[in-house]
Chains A and B, each alone.
Chain A
Amino acid sequence: MKKVLLFIVAAAFLAAPASFGQSNTLMDGYLGKARADYASSAYFILSAAGVVPETASPGEAVEKARAQWGIEPPEGRDSLTLGEFSHLVMRAFGIPGGIMYTFVPGPRYAARELGYREFILDKPWPDRSLSGEEALSILGEALAWKEAGR
């Protein structure tokens, strides 16, 4: 199942000829990361959701998240937490949250929501790190959710 989701994500990016070179290079490096980095994550999430074009750079994706939703990149580190990743996914894909997320939108309840929806198969703890492979698996679930017309 995990491999299928990774294939969905890979196919979604590789299907765009203009971005083939950039996406392929980024994804190769991203998949091998023990801790997913914020800029690449923002790029994959926002471009998969259609918020930025595939030709955008990771930096442009970070700026878009800041400008559109006020989501600031983490200070003092390149990596992002599962909660921060989940928050970007929730915002980019317009996934509705629970009562607490509605009133206090942020990483904590975003991770809870994606855990409840079984996008996150491991522990849905917002402060833990996630690998590039797990990040793309979660993104694959979000893409499948979007494809199902939810």
Chain B
Amino acid sequence: MKKRAILAAVVLAAAGITYGMDFGFSVDSDSTFQRMDESEFIQKNTGLVWVAADLGETWEFHGALSGTLSSDDAEPVFYADLRQLSLKGLFETPAAGVSLVSVEAGRFREAEFSGRVLAHTLDGLRLELGLPDSTGRLTVGYTGLINKYYGSVMMSGADAADDADSDIILGPARLVGTLSWEFIELFSRNSLNLAAVLQKDLRSEDTVDTVYAGAGLNGPLGGGAYYDLYGWYGGGDIASFLLGGGLRWYRPDLRHAALGLSFLYAGGDDAGTSIYDGDNKGFLPVAGSAYGLAFAPTASNLAAAELSFSMKPWSREKDSVLESLQTALTATLFFKPVDGPFSEGQVDGSAGSGYLGMEIGGALNYRPFSDLGLGLSLGCFIPARDMFVDDYQDPWLTGKLYLSFSF
């Protein structure tokens, strides 16, 4: 059915019925070296084809299909899925005081303002309402038709079991709804975000249902400095909160130097046995990112602080081939705020709260041409020995080499 929809769009475009269209390809190569208790090298090559078309003056079609060849033992050698397949209608100035209404149906990417609670692909419907000084968005979607190897929803023991079962290729069946409102430059160029996320587990037993309410504020502090601050309360089967934020100082005149300091706190449950056991009251995101490359725990029973610095050393040499090269260094401290379960199994279950370790990271990002991007990221995690089980008490290393070519 979905293939037919793509074909229909291509045929419409070829027949000249569309107002414009484009298509393209990209090839991504991702090489990862990991050394924890043992060394491992993982190579992933992903090819993606995309098409976009105007179907009249109001509607847009977007489709993207990708396939991945993987050497990861935890994944099949080849997997594929539709990454996007949506129809979007844009209705400009439909009523007095409203500047834009958009409707999008199909498969699309959805993320709340912080990216800590939900940043995932959904199959569903999204409505946006643009007002002169604010934007509202309502999204309802389903995660159970997405190839699990392109997904990251992990909230229960059943999710973990399905993730480990190679016969199951689709992600957890969950209904997700978000309602968000952004007040753009509400005062002194500071913007306010308000959002609510509802997540309903559609399994029949061992379910984990959650709701979240969050607020965030961001804006400039002057002199090239910016801040952001956000908080989420998680309810339903959990009862905890997440706080995060940071300061960033940009100096484009100093070779695009950027200095950042950020933090994250996600509450835990000292009475739980696993963050996925259904009784855990600690904070648990639907599918959000946290910190780290070598050590990348879920934002649950976690406190972390990161200092980062990046610059483009050759940005002033306008004819240099290295002009676009960006270098970055990070230092991240990880803590377990309370006794109880933690997302990573290498952390000793009997260990209490405390300092978990520090990760030192470095990255090179280079885009010598508009269609070619290269990246190298290195992370070295130095664990607090008394917090980890025996095989994981020495430093962990992860290196990633990334290449992306689009055409």
A residues near B, CB below 8 A? 97-101, 109, 112-113, 116-117, 123-129, 149-150
Q: Select from chain A the residue with minimum beta-carbon distance to B60.
A: A123
Complex Cα–Cα for A124 and B369 (A) = 17
The reply to whether A127 and B371 contact each other, CB–CB distance below 8 Å, is no
Interface size class of B (residues with CB under 8 A): 10 to 19
Query: Chain A interface mostly helix, strand, loop or mixed?
Result: loop
The reply to whether B369 and A99 contact each other, CB–CB distance below 8 Å, is yes
Partner of B22, one of A97, A101, A123: A123
The reply to whether B369 and A98 contact each other, CB–CB distance below 8 Å, is yes
B residues near A, CB below 8 A? 19-22, 24, 52, 54, 318, 369-372, 405, 407
Q: Select from chain B the residue with minimum beta-carbon distance to A124.
A: B22
The reply to whether B370 and A127 contact each other, CB–CB distance below 8 Å, is no
Contacts of B372 in A (CB 8 A): 98-99
Tally the A-B contacts, defined by beta carbons under 8 Å: 41
Q: Beyond A99-B372, A112-B370, A117-B370, is A127–B22 a contact (Cβ under 8 Å)?
A: yes
The reply to whether A127 and B369 contact each other, CB–CB distance below 8 Å, is no
Contacts of B24 in A (CB 8 A): 112
Task: List 7 A–B pairs whose Cβ atoms lie within 8 Å, in order of A's numbering.
Answer: A98-B370, A98-B372, A101-B371, A116-B371, A123-B20, A128-B19, A149-B318
Complex Cα–Cα for A3 and B21 (A) = 27
Complex Cα–Cα for A127 and B54 (A) = 11
Sorted nearest first, the 5 A-B pairs with minimum C-beta distance are A128-B20, A98-B371, A125-B22, A116-B370, A98-B369
Least Cβ distance of B320 to chain A in Å?
A: 13
Least Cβ distance of A101 to chain B in Å?
A: 8
The reply to whether A99 and B20 contact each other, CB–CB distance below 8 Å, is no
Contacts of A112 in B (CB 8 A): 24, 370-371
Complex Cα–Cα for A112 and B52 (A) = 14
Least Cβ distance of B161 to chain A in Å?
A: 43
